A and B are shown apart, each in its own frame.
Chain A
Amino acid sequence: MTLTKTNRRTAVGGIAATVLALASGGVLAQADKPLRIGFSMARTGMLANATPSQLNTYELWREQTNARGGMDVGGTRRKVEFVTYDDQSKPDQAVRIYEKLITDDKVDLLLAPWGTPFHIAIAPVLEKFKFPLVGNTAASVALRKVKPGYIWFPTSAIPDRIGQELVKMLKGENVKSVAVLSNVLPFTKEIKNFVEPELKKAGIEIKVSAEYPPDIADMTATLTQVKQANVDAVLALAYPGDSVLYAKQAKELGLNNPFQFIAIGPSDAFFAKAVGATSAEGVVTIAHWSPKAEWKGSQAFYDAYVKKFGEDPDYLNSALAWMSLEILETTVAKTGLDKAKMREMISSQTFDTINGKVKFEGVQNVITPTAFVQTQKGKLRIVWPASMATSKYEAKKGW
Chain B
Amino acid sequence: MTVLDILLSGQLLFAALVTGSLYALIALGLNLVYGTMRMLNVAHGDVVMLGAYGAYWGFTLLDIPPLLAAPVVAGLGGLLGWALYRGIFQRMLSGGSGAGNNRLESNSLLLFFGLSIILQNATALVFTPNNRAYNYLDTVYHFGGVAMTGNRLAALLVAGTACIAVAVFLSRSVFGLATRAVIERREAAHIVGVDVDYVQRLSFILGFGSAALAGVLISMLGQFSPFSGFPFTIAGFIVIILGGLGNTMAGLLAALLLGVIETYGVALTSANMRSVLLYGAFVAALLLFPNGLFAGRAKSR
User: What residues make up the interface of A, taking CB atoms closer than 8 Å to B?
Assistant: 42-46, 48-52, 184, 210-213, 215-222, 224-225, 228, 240-242, 244-245, 248-249, 251-254, 270, 273-276, 279
Contacts and interface: CB of A to CB of B under 8 A. Distances in A.
B129 to A, nearest CB: 3
Contacts of B15: 218, 220-221
Interface of B: 1, 6, 9, 11-12, 14-15, 18-19, 120-121, 124, 128-135, 138, 140, 147-149, 152, 221-223, 225-227, 231, 262-264, 266-267, 270-272, 274-275
B124 A248 contact: no
Contacts of A279: 135, 138
A228 B267 CA distance: 13
B129 A44 contact: yes
Contacts of B152: 252
The prevalent SS among residues of A at the interface is: helix
B11 A253 contact: yes
Nearest to B140: A252
A228 B9 CA distance: 12
A253 B262 CA distance: 19
Given A213-B271, A218-B15, A270 B124 contact: no
Contacts, number: 128
Given A44-B121, A224-B1, A240-B131, A245 B223 contact: yes
Contact of A211 (B148, B221, B262, B271): B271
B129 A52 contact: yes
A52 B133 contact: no
Given A252-B147, A252-B148, A224 B267 contact: yes
A369 B27 CA distance: 50
Given A212-B271, A276-B138, A221 B221 contact: no
Given A221-B266, A244-B222, A252-B140, A48 B11 contact: no
B130 A52 contact: yes
In this complex, the member of B18, B133, B262 whose beta carbon has the largest number of chain A beta carbons within 10 angstroms is B133
Given A245-B221, A252-B140, 4 more contacts: A212-B272, A218-B263, A221-B266, A248-B222
Contacts of A43: 124, 129
Nearest to B150: A252
29 contacts: A42-B129, A44-B120, A44-B121, A45-B227, A210-B270, A212-B272, A213-B275, A215-B274, A216-B271, A220-B267, A221-B6, A221-B12, A221-B271, A224-B11, A240-B223, A241-B131, A244-B223, A245-B221, A248-B138, A248-B221, A251-B149, A253-B147, A270-B130, A270-B131, A273-B135, A274-B132, A274-B134, A274-B223, A276-B135
